[in-house]
Amino acid sequence: MKAVILAGGQDTHLVPLVRTVPKPLLPVANRPMVEYVLNLLKASGIREVALTVNAAAHPYEDVLGDGRRLGMRLHYSRETVPRGTAGCLPPLADFIGREPFMVIHGGLFLNADLKALAEFHQLRKALATLGVRRTAGGSRDWHHLELRLGEGDRVEGITVRDLSDREQLSSVPAGVYVFDSAVLPFIETGVYYDIKEQLLPRLRQEGKPVFACEIQGYCLNVLEMKDYLKVNRSVLRGEVNGYRFDGQIAEGIWVGRGSDVSPMATFHGPVMIGRDCVIGPGVQIIGPTCVGDGCFVEEGALLRDSLLLPGARVERNSRIEGCVLAADTVISPGQALREVVAIPENLDVGELDLADTELLIQGVAASAGSYAQSQLRYLLYRAFKRGFDLATALIGLVGLSPLLLAVALAIKITSPGPVFFRQRRCGRHGREFGMVKFRTMVKDAETMQAQLRPLSEVDGPVFKIENDPRSTDLGRLLRKYSLDEMPQLWNVLKGEMSLVGPRPLAAREMRFCPAWRDVRLKVRPGITGLWQVSGRSKTSFHDWIRLDIEYVQEQSIFRDFQILFKTLSVVLRALGSF
């Protein structure tokens, strides 16, 4: 059996740590996280693995090479555009061959019985087997598959269920799958295609044998900073069995080669010191703490329950408790940091939006001054953006009131039904609001959508038909020039939307790509945005993902005005709208 590790896609979790290093390569106890999964696969008898990576595969090749160091053979499949967890598999058909193969999400930290999962799959003669775990602990994923199991754990039904923060399912997919090679023809090529949300439901609809097998052992999807710290603590404490480290000098104390440790330093394990580190006199390190390669900890410093990535430096008499220090971060003398993520540079506006708030109690920065600069820039941008939104929405609603009244009257005269179309959409942080537009379709258009779904002319979760039979004659004109969007100025005035931002979507429309969903919900949705001015309905779903993430990461006042001016040109020329 061979395996595929899904290490590509648009993963924006663990910002700002992933600004230079892909998440699977972040160190856990001074080893790349993905290396633990590779060693587990090797122990399970799987020695040939393909990693699906973004266009730039060199970070993985630089660290893992061809796998010979690990006693394995590694292959790399590059994605130039996001193809989804299933869409990346058909290009690997030659690698997969005709045997069953295992698929593992690159964000997982595993120490589970994969042999039992593979044997279960073969015993049941399944086309697909889902590894499941009893709870969703550690995961903030909104969407889970609700599985209806029959005899022998055969999956008799699959539905996607939205969960509130308090709701838990008894078992959820763990991100580990075993497939027969005959599954590949069921994956649509050339479009974004997801295992959990598209492939598995399709297999069940067509009556194919799909089974669920509970995974025994440690399984954590590392989505948040607290997950990353938890994994490091678990490994250092020995709670995850099977990992042994070199350089043990005492019970629960490891020191790497080339490190200079003062005899005046005191350690309370578990503590791991990487290679070529310098630990000064009077330093206290209280575990679980991991110090990466090439770190300096100067005289009188205290480290407690923290993680220092390679090249970090803690200068004298500083106190670091419950913190993560990014690579090459310098903590100046006398600093006292508690439960923060420290980085060597200021954060941009978009990075502050994407940063994990769980550990941002005091801020993200190596010093109070640099953090203040980042926050000031962020607050000024937010204040200007909101002020401009308010002023423009108010002026627009007043100035356009004759046109709004005329359109409303025309809708009422030309077709039965309400003037406005209202629908629950997700705003910032997932808070739902009632989005309002002019109605452009017949009265019962929503109920007709299920019958028309096979005719959709766009890939991804959103339904679009260029000549939609549900549209009224007036509605087609309004949509052509985006006049149906004008009532959304009211949503902008209320603070539910912004003039510029990702398109507002319902929760069910964001389930295909969790990373995309998590990013776009960091900001207010917009009437217009980068996707809307880059092709609109003519744009593929993978480009939509890329454009939304690009906007959130690079948002600025200049970018917003650039999009607003481009919107005028796109709307007046009626480009890409249907």
Confidence of residue 370 (pLDDT cuts 50, 70, 90): low
Residue 91 has φ and ψ, to the nearest 5°, of: -60, -15
Query: Residue 316 half-sphere exposure, CB side, CA atoms within 13 Å?
Result: 4
Q: How far is CA 373 from CA 328, 376, 452, in A?
A: 19, 5, 52
Could you give the residue range(s) of every CATH 2.160.10.10 domain in the chain?
Answer: 248-373
**Domain 2-226 homologous superfamily, CATH:** Spore Coat Polysaccharide Biosynthesis Protein SpsA; Chain A (3.90.550.10)
Confidence of residue 199 (pLDDT cuts 50, 70, 90): very high
Condensed to tens digits (0 to 9), the pLDDT of residues 124-157 reads 999 999 998 876 444 455 456 677 778 878 888 7
Residue 360 token pair: 């941002």
Condensed to tens digits (0 to 9), the pLDDT of residues 43-57 reads 999 999 999 998 766
Do residues 95 and 50 lie in contact, with contact meaning Cβ atoms separated by under 8 Å?
yes
Could you give the residue range(s) of every CATH 3.90.550.10 domain in the chain?
Answer: 2-226
Across all residues in the chain, what is the average pLDDT? Answer: 86
**Which pLDDT value is given to residue 471?**
87
The residue with tokens 């889970």 is: 144
**Which pLDDT value is given to residue 527?**
95
DSSP codes of every residue in 515-564: HHHHHHTTS--EEE-TTTTTTGGGS-HHHHHHHHHHHHHH--HHHHHHHH
Condensed to tens digits (0 to 9), the pLDDT of residues 506-564 reads 887 887 777 788 888 889 999 999 988 887 666 778 788 888 988 998 889 999 999 99
Topology at the third CATH level for domain 248-373: UDP N-Acetylglucosamine Acyltransferase; domain 1 (2.160.10)
Mean pLDDT of 193-207: 89
**pTM of the predicted protein model:** 0.84
Condensed to tens digits (0 to 9), the pLDDT of residues 302-350 reads 999 999 999 999 999 999 999 999 888 889 899 888 888 888 776 666 6
Instruction: Write down the number of H helices and E strands in the chain.
Output: 16, 34
Confidence of residue 464 (pLDDT cuts 50, 70, 90): confident
Confidence of residue 452 (pLDDT cuts 50, 70, 90): confident
DSSP codes of every residue in 92-107: GHHHHTTS-EEEEETT
Q: What angle do CA 401, 407, 413 make, to 5 degrees?
A: 135
**Which pLDDT value is given to residue 169?**
55
How many residues in the chain? 578
Cis peptide upstream of residue 288 (ω within 30 degrees of 0): yes
Do residues 191 and 460 lie in contact, with contact meaning Cβ atoms separated by under 8 Å?
yes
Query: Residue 188 half-sphere exposure, CB side, CA atoms within 13 Å?
Result: 13
Residue 495 has φ and ψ, to the nearest 5°, of: 85, 10
SS3 23: helix
Long-range contacts of 149-158 (CB under 8 A, 24+ apart): 149/212, 152/124, 152/211, 153/124, 153/211, 153/212, 153/213, 154/124, 154/209, 154/210, 154/211, 155/130, 155/200, 155/204, 155/210, 155/211, 155/212, 156/204, 157/204, 158/200, 158/201, 158/204, 158/210
**Which pLDDT value is given to residue 298?**
96
Distance of CA 405 to the CA centre of its chain: 42
Confidence of residue 73 (pLDDT cuts 50, 70, 90): very high
E-strand ranges in 381-419 read: none
Confidence of residue 109 (pLDDT cuts 50, 70, 90): very high
Q: Would you tell me the crossing angle of helices 401-414 and 368-399 to the nearest 10 degrees?
A: 60
Do residues 278 and 262 lie in contact, with contact meaning Cβ atoms separated by under 8 Å?
no
Q: Which residues contact 215 (CB under 8 A, 6 or more apart)?
A: 112, 113, 117, 131, 132, 133, 174, 176
CB count within 10 Å of CB 250 equals 10
The residue with tokens 């900073």 is: 225
Residue 164 pLDDT greater than 80, yes or no: no
Mean pLDDT of 104-120: 93
**Which pLDDT value is given to residue 304?**
96
The residue with tokens 């790399």 is: 76
Mean pLDDT of 478-506: 93
Give the chain's radius of gyration (CA, Å). 26
The amino acid at 497 = M
Mean pLDDT of 169-193: 87
